[in-house]
A = this chain, B = another copy of it.
Amino acid sequence: MHELLEKDRVYAAVDLLFLTVRERRLYLLLSRRENEPCAGYAALPGRMIGLSESAEETAAVLENEMLPGAGAYMEQLYTFSDVHRDARGRVITIAYFALIPYQRLERLLPSTKMRLYEIDTRAEEPVLTDEEGKRLAKSDLAFDHARIIQTCVNRLKGKIGYTDISLRLLSDDKRFTMVELEGIFEAVTGQEADKSNFRRFIRSRFEDSGIITALRQTEKQTRGRPALLYRWNREA
């Protein structure tokens, strides 16, 4: 089976970048394409836009299809429209990124065909590595997905400093520690931050405006000193 596209018209699709952070590393979900074109290549999940749904709605449908119950935070990334980006025909794609806490994603992983790929964000161009530690070349990616991923990482690097996207990746729904949040920044920006400066930065951005609140509780009895907990007062 193989989707047949008419040759004389333009199609519109949505591609999704499911992103998560685990232990100071950024991960992306890709599946192996089973059909031509690009059979065997790693690819972002995609879906044609239906007649009676907006691109945002298509993205939600696609999320539900690929990772039901993910409840990810989504944002439009960019629209890619190169004439020859899809060998099946003329397909324009509106890419969205979907941020999902790893804690939540973990439970959904067994029931999806997609696999986690680590994104090394330190270099100019992001480097993808599969679960066996094997590097994924750009030519192993279907269509123009390498370019889409690069655009996405750049966007995240740019926006993490002045938006709340970092909070959307926090594991627990309400409580978190500064070290966790720092790990998310580190994963996205690809460089480690100074503890003290990081806390000051977060406080001035989020605590002063009431977005997060310091709690009087500590948790996570591991080895060292227990970490203070913060609460994210999410509105939306």
Contacts and interface: CB of A to CB of B under 8 A. Distances in A.
Given A51-B10, A90-B51, A92-B49, A78 B76 contact: yes
A83 interface: yes
B83 A55 contact: no
- Quick one: copies of this chain in the complex? 2
Nearest to A95: B79
Contact of A81 (B10, B55, B78, B90): B55
A10 B78 contact: no
Contacts of A54: 81-83
B81 A51 contact: no
Contact of A10 (B49, B56, B79): B49
A11 interface: yes
Interface string A82-108: 110000001010100000000000000
A81 B96 CA distance: 13
B81 A49 contact: yes
Contacts of A94: 79, 81, 92
Contact size range, A: 20 to 34
A143 to B, nearest CB: 14
A9 interface: yes
A12 interface: yes
Contacts of A219: none
Give the interface centre of A8, A10, A11, A56 by most chain B CB atoms within 10 Å. A10
A221 interface: no
A52 B92 contact: no
Contacts of A11: 10
Nearest to A90: B51
A53 B12 contact: no
B83 A52 contact: yes
- Among A76, A78, A90, chain B packs the most CB atoms within 10 A around the CB of A90
Interface of A: 8-12, 49, 51-56, 76, 78-79, 81-83, 90, 92, 94
